[in-house]
Amino acid sequence: MTDHPHRTIPVKSWTFDDRTNSEIRRAAATGIYDIRGGGAKRRVPHFDDLLFLGASVSRYPLEGYRETCATDVSLGTRYAANPIRLDIPITIAGMSFGALSGTAKEALGRGATAAGTSTTTGDGGMTEEERGHSDKLVYQYLPSRYGMNPDDLRRADAIEIVVGQGAKPGGGGMLLGQKISDRVAEMRNLPQGIDQRSACRHPDWTGPDDLEIKILELREITGWKVPIYVKVGGARPYFDTTLAVKAGADVVVLDGMQGGTAATQDVFIEHVGQPTLACIRPAVQALQDLGLHRDGVQLVISGGIRSGADVAKAIALGADAVSIGTAALIALGDNDPKWEAEYQKLGTTAGAYDDWHEGQDPAGINTQDPALQQRLDPVLGGRRLSNYLKVMTLEAQTIARACGKSHLHNLEPEDLCALTMEAAAMARVPLAGTDWYPGKAGF
Ligand SMILES: Cc1cc2nc3c(=O)[nH]c(=O)nc-3n(C[C@H](O)[C@H](O)[C@H](O)COP(=O)(O)O)c2cc1C
């Protein structure tokens, strides 16, 4: 840009940046709000803002090749006769059949099983592919009740009552007609090819008392055998955790605002809910106040988990396990640059593609199109996912050993420091170089 003697160099507004202006133009042209998949794209305080301290003179590290660092976790030890026992504390989050292809569900089941962990159904019900290939399958009980089948409740290894999701606490989902194939329509008991909204709240609840009744009902249907999880979006984690536990939950699944979704309004994804980092300590505090942290009720954290470092940080802050959605899809091949030419045709680029609801996913994952689905080989996809889960586990173990821990669950906030004031306040760990963090109260 050349300098002009009578003008300053052109400066774009920080407030009206290119993305904002493009959204205004899109809204003006179409008259409808933007729907998309994925999680929040803006930068919010996250696990990257924390660092592990590692051992030195005052702490004693463990030797990687000789000393073990265990990674197993049991979920649902409170009331269930058969808690879920996992080899690794990384589970596959609930993702709907309808959003995802049957092949993708199979690949998730294969990958999770090979890695010794669980996968989860989603809106739209349980498919044979995922039940058949998932050693441990969590069955979601959702506000929409799409695909809800009492027989499937009894075929599940755990039940997850979905109250909300981090991408859209208080909101519902969308499935556009393009993705309502005959099979999806049949499972959801709805007409083919018509846009569907998933409800934002359960039809038979008006408050936490009804959650208690629902949990009891599900326990009776499943004979008190399997754990009952309650999944909430990151809204008011202290109170939501307290109420879920008081209603009888075995496990609380807490999904922060970076959590992915198959489809909802962009305005929801970017503007509703709290960052994952900000949700963990209040939820842990709630469990500690109830005397149920770790051994009583387990806490599963999700929303933007990408690496073993994220896993270790979530556990150090008090989570028992984490759950991944987006990262699992990327491991299968989602947003792979090898499909760049096709992303370009859709007006986007690899890494930015999020119009999953349109059913044209070049990677063959977020689609019901038979030709596109064939692009995903479920055996290869499963292997890629189990490799990725293995790497994350090894990374978390490496960090834990360096902190002198013989089990991932021995990691603690004391092992961490924060790079920013915001992260220090949210995670309640000292700002690097100090022994201080802002804000003592206020959950
Ligand atoms: C394609 C897709 C479909 C999803 N479908 C569901 C669903 O049916 N039920 C649900 O509770 N959450 C659903 N989620 C949210 C995930 O369960 C999970 O909360 C979220 O993906 C975690 O954040 P992450 O994607 O950053 O790992 C979906 C997420 C994605 C990416």
CATH of the domain at 192: 3.20.20.70
Protein residue closest via CA to atom 12 of ligand 1: 94
H/E stretch holding 231: strand 228-233
**Which residues constitute the domain of residue 394?**
45-333+376-427
Q: Which amino acid makes up residue 312?
A: A
Residues near 260 by beta carbon (within 8 Å), at least 6 away in sequence: 37, 38, 39, 167, 325, 326, 329
Which atom of ligand 1 is closest in space to residue 253's alpha carbon?
Answer: 19
C-beta separation of 92 from 441 below 8 A: no
* Of the candidates 9, 104, 1, 45, the residue with the CA atom closest to the CA atom of residue 422: 45
- CA dist., res. 8 & res. 13, Å (int): 14
291 exposed, middle or buried (CB, 10 Å; 0-12, 13-18, 19+)? exposed
The whole-number pLDDT of residue 185 equals 85
- Asked if residue 101 has its Cβ within 6 Å of ligand 1, the reply is no
* Of the candidates 110, 214, 120, 109, the residue with the CA atom closest to the CA atom of residue 160: 120
362 falls within a domain = no
Dihedral sign for Cα atoms in the order 126, 130, 131, 134: negative
CA of 94 to the centre of ligand 1 (A): 6
C-beta separation of 251 from 227 below 8 A: yes
21 falls within a domain = no
156-176 in b/e form (b: 16+ CB < 10 A) is: bbbbbbbbbbbbbbebbbbbb
Q: Which of 139, 165, 188, 229 to mutate to test the pocket of ligand 1 (most atoms within 8 A of CB)?
A: 165
The whole-number pLDDT of residue 2 equals 59
432 falls within a domain = no
* Of the candidates 415, 435, 432, the residue with the CA atom closest to the CA atom of residue 55: 415
- Asked if residue 363 has its Cβ within 6 Å of ligand 1, the reply is no
CA of 4 to the centre of ligand 1 (A): 51
C-beta separation of 229 from 136 below 8 A: no
The whole-number pLDDT of residue 64 equals 86
92 falls within a domain = yes
383 falls within a domain = yes
101 falls within a domain = yes
CA of 292 to the centre of ligand 1 (A): 27
353 falls within a domain = no
- What number of residues does the chain have? 443
Assessment of whether the complete model's pTM goes beyond 0.85: yes
- Asked if residue 305 has its Cβ within 6 Å of ligand 1, the reply is yes
C-beta separation of 115 from 135 below 8 A: no
The whole-number pLDDT of residue 443 equals 45
CA of 295 to the centre of ligand 1 (A): 27
- Asked if residue 273 has its Cβ within 6 Å of ligand 1, the reply is no
Which atom of ligand 1 is closest in space to residue 122's alpha carbon?
Answer: 8
Read off φ and ψ for residue 135, nearest 5 degrees. -65, -40
Domain count, the chain: 1
Which atom of ligand 1 is closest in space to residue 302's alpha carbon?
Answer: 22
352 falls within a domain = no
What residues of the chain score a pLDDT lower than 70? 1-3, 440-443
pLDDT tens digit sequence for 51-61? 999 999 999 99
